[in-house]
Chain A
Amino acid sequence: GAVVSQHPSRVICKSGTSVKIECRSLDFQATTMFWYRQFPKQSLMLMATSNEGSKATYEQGVEKDKFLINHASLTLSTLTVTSAHPEDSSFYICSARDRQGFTEAFFGQGTRLTVV
């Protein structure tokens, strides 16, 4: 299957700083990428959908100024957690869909963010 690489896999940052997470499709072009958040022992909650070259669509309740998403190319989307606080600590995972229209979304390895 297609490969989606997410980096970093783990990050610890201080309160008030910003953290950038990258999601890359390695062997296909992704017109659409999705960002999910997962709290411990809970399900994946969709945060936003990002389409290449346009603004991301955020789910209800997700602060767009807090979670900045950029999808500047067909192989890269980034999620920046701005002015991070301990409550932002979570597991963030991205997925990407092939521009050819396959309905399967391939997932990255996830990023465990800890804000201290």
Chain B
Amino acid sequence: AQKVTQAQTEISVVEKEDVTLDCVYETRDTTYYLFWYKQPPSGELVFLIRRNSFDEQNEISGRYSWNFQKSTSSFNFTITASQVVDSAVYFCALSEIAGSNYKLTFGKGTLLTVNP
């Protein structure tokens, strides 16, 4: 069975600080996808990134960066120079592939609060 663990329930930082959100996953599949989503107070889920299990290259998108370490089953997310608008709940998710319609298993989420 798949499992996604986001050990940090809540994180509070001051604007301009860097912050890393941790994600550890478990799966028996050799091929899978990992995702990060942002959920602002309005409730919608905003897609941030998808990573294929075969691609361990780290990715940077503006102030966002992701560190995929297959050896430790981790897919951590770093926000550099955080801003108040980054305040939201962030979910890490795992998608199995084989015969599953690619359904997502979500972690419990990390509430990030960025204070001015």
Contact = CB atoms under 8 A, between A and B. Distances in A.
Contact of B43 (A34, A42, A91): A91
A107 B108 contact: no
Contacts of B42: 109
A1 interface: yes
B66 interface: no
Given A93-B45, A97-B102, A103 B109 contact: no
Nearest to B97: A103
A43 B107 contact: yes
A92 to B, nearest CB: 10
Interface residues of B, number: 22
Given A34-B104, A44-B106, A106 B44 contact: no
Contact of B108 (A43, A95, A103): A43
B28 to A, nearest CB: 18
Given A42-B108, A43-B106, A46-B105, 7 more contacts: A1-B47, A32-B102, A93-B43, A95-B45, A97-B101, A103-B50, A104-B47
12 contacts: A43-B91, A43-B108, A44-B45, A46-B105, A49-B101, A97-B101, A97-B102, A103-B95, A104-B50, A107-B47, A108-B44, A110-B44
Given A43-B91, A44-B91, A105 B43 contact: no
Interface of A: 1, 32, 34, 41-44, 46, 49, 51, 91, 93, 95, 97, 103-110, 112
Contact of A103 (B33, B37, B44, B45): B33
